[in-house]
């Protein structure tokens, strides 16, 4: 099984896990609690702009849960707003106040509903450290996944704002 966490778009070969009961969602639940999935039961997990919504005290256990459900050799494909890139954008003197407000929302979340708040700012240093800490063997940055039309490829001001990582169990 391939699991798309936080996904909304139905795609052949993928099951959807979402915190909200939307059309096409196969599993209702939170990435922080993957107890409905057996150990070593998932080939790939894709999570675009999900991990920043997890409060700091839950990050390690959430990553351990993702590691647990992956089969040996399974891959976690994760995309998060890159805090380093967004901080540079905030300091860009060529961005308008509206542009900077948009960047601020990418840092802290859009805040359009109770689930759209960002609790953690990710960069490569944090991502690699946390992934190694929970047992992922190979961790690498990629430019794009090319799987879904989502914010993993978002480049609103000429620079991609996402840190895209493949972590292999």
> In order of start, what are the domains of the chain with their CATH numbers?
2-168 (3.40.50.150)
Residue 122: CB atoms within 10 Å: 22
User: Smallest Cα–Cα separation from 18: which of 119, 146, 113?
Assistant: 113
**What pLDDT does residue 96 have?**
96
Residue 113 has a pLDDT of: 85
The neighbour count for residue 169, using CB atoms within 10 Å, is 21
- Residue 112 has a pLDDT of 87
pLDDT at 115: 81
> Which pLDDT score, from 0 to 100, does residue 65 have?
98
> pTM (2 decimals)?
0.93
- C-alpha 13: how far from chain center: 19
State the Cα–Cα distance between residues 69 and 128, nearest whole angstrom: 19
Burial class (CB in 10 A: 0-12, 13-18, 19+), 113: exposed
Q: What is the pLDDT along the chain (169 residues), one digit of tens a residue?
A: 999 999 888 999 999 999 999 999 999 999 999 999 999 999 999 999 999 999 999 999 999 999 999 999 999 999 999 999 999 999 999 999 999 999 999 999 998 888 889 999 999 999 999 999 999 999 999 999 999 888 899 999 889 999 999 999 9
């Amino acid at each position: 099984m391939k699991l798309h966490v936080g996904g909304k778009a139905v795609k052949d070969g993928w099951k959807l896990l979402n915190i909200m009961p939307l059309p096409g969602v196969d599993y209702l639940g939170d990435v922080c609690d993957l107890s409905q999935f057996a150990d070593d039961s998932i080939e790939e997990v894709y999570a675009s702009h999900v991990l920043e919504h997890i409060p700091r005290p839950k990050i390690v256990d959430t990553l351990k849960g993702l590691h647990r459900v992956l089969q040996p050799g399974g891959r976690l494909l994760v995309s998060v707003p890159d805090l380093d890139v967004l901080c540079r954008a905030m300091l860009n003197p060529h961005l308008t106040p509206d542009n900077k407000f948009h960047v601020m929302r990418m840092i802290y979340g859009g805040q359009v509903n109770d689930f759209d708040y960002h609790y953690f700012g990710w960069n490569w240093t944090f991502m690699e450290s946390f992934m190694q800490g929970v047992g992922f063997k190979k961790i690498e940055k990629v430019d794009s996944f090319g799987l879904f039309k989502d914010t993993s490829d978002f480049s609103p001001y000429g620079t991609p704002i996402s840190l895209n990582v493949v972590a292999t169990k």
